[in-house]
Amino acid sequence: MPFRLSRLQADVLLVLVTAIWGWTFPAVKNATAQFPTFPFLALRFTLGALALLPFAWGSLRRLPARGWLAGLGIGSFLFLGYAFQTFGLAFTTSSKAGFITGLSVVIVPVAAAVLERRFPGWPVASGVTLATFGLALLSLSGSLLPGPGDLLVLLCAFSFAAHILAVGRWAPGYEARGIALLQIAVAALWSYLASWIWQPLPSLTSVAGSVWTALAVTGLLATAAAFLIQTSVQRFTTAAHTALIFSLEPVFAALFGYLLAGEVLSPRGWVGAVLILLGILASELPGALAQRTAS
């Protein structure tokens, strides 16, 4: 039986997804320092797919051919986001990569407006502006001149933006569990291919316990649960709101980095975090007030 959510409920669940992703940053950072990135992604997505399989197998079997194509496209964009980010980080700083990845916040509403031939609206436009400045203060330092790594991470931002737009446009017509399982499985297959080409899978008997812990947390929560929630609830909000909410990821990453790894955010970084929150409020508050007035 199909369920319905208000936009506020959908946004709250997407904030939960973003918090989960931010929570996993310290574990993933530690794990990928001990284990190659592409094999880690391959195992993470495999674990996520296996976790969803018992609940989503029936939905997957009922997907028509167009649904399989939708899952293939969504999963490919998901993999490309991680792949370009991984390669880009080898040639640029993490702070610049964080800001450039966050440009998906700008790309999504602009791309959606172009595709739908409309202006995204002043609340969303102002929210995007505030969130962009916030991400800059939170993540950017040093020169703004782009290098090869910066351009690769820019492709990452476009890939993540395309993933959000693809979920918004293609997923609503199909069962969420089937699409969630399919996109994760596709990302796993691409990760195995990339691992075979660039980073062979090490012997699993030599994997440290902290890596297995990170795999379990990211595979079950940050992959299986998070993408199932996103695929299920994003249809009740907009791609622009989703992108703005996902801009909270570096805020949660900074928070959990402090709590779990002792990383300290600078005063400038906290100002950036506040601007991101204000950007989301600027986008969400008018719609929430209108909904309350209408009721």
Q: Is 72 a residue whose pLDDT tops 60? A: yes
pLDDT tens column, 222-280: 888 988 888 888 888 877 778 778 878 778 877 888 888 777 777 887 888 888 878 87
What pLDDT, on a 0 to 100 scale, did the predictor assign at position 293?
52
Cα–Cα dist 194/112, whole Å: 30
Cα–Cα dist 124/138, whole Å: 20
Q: State the alpha helices, DSSP H only, in the chain.
A: 7-32, 37-62, 65-89, 94-102, 104-116, 122-139, 148-170, 176-198, 209-217, 226-233, 239-246, 249-261, 267-294
Cα–Cα dist 163/52, whole Å: 20
Cα–Cα dist 57/272, whole Å: 42
What's the pLDDT band for 145 if we cut at 50, 70, 90? low
pLDDT tens column, 74-110: 999 999 998 888 777 767 766 677 777 877 877 888 8
SS3 for 103?
coil
- CA Rg, the chain, in Å? 19
CA 271 to chain centre: 23
Cα–Cα dist 210/247, whole Å: 28
Determine what percent of the chain is predicted with pLDDT higher than 90.
26
pLDDT tens column, 167-221: 888 888 888 889 989 999 999 999 999 999 988 888 888 788 888 998 999 899 9
Q: Is 291 a residue whose pLDDT tops 60? A: no
pTM: 0.80
pLDDT tens column, 105-125: 778 888 888 887 887 778 888
SS3 for 221?
helix
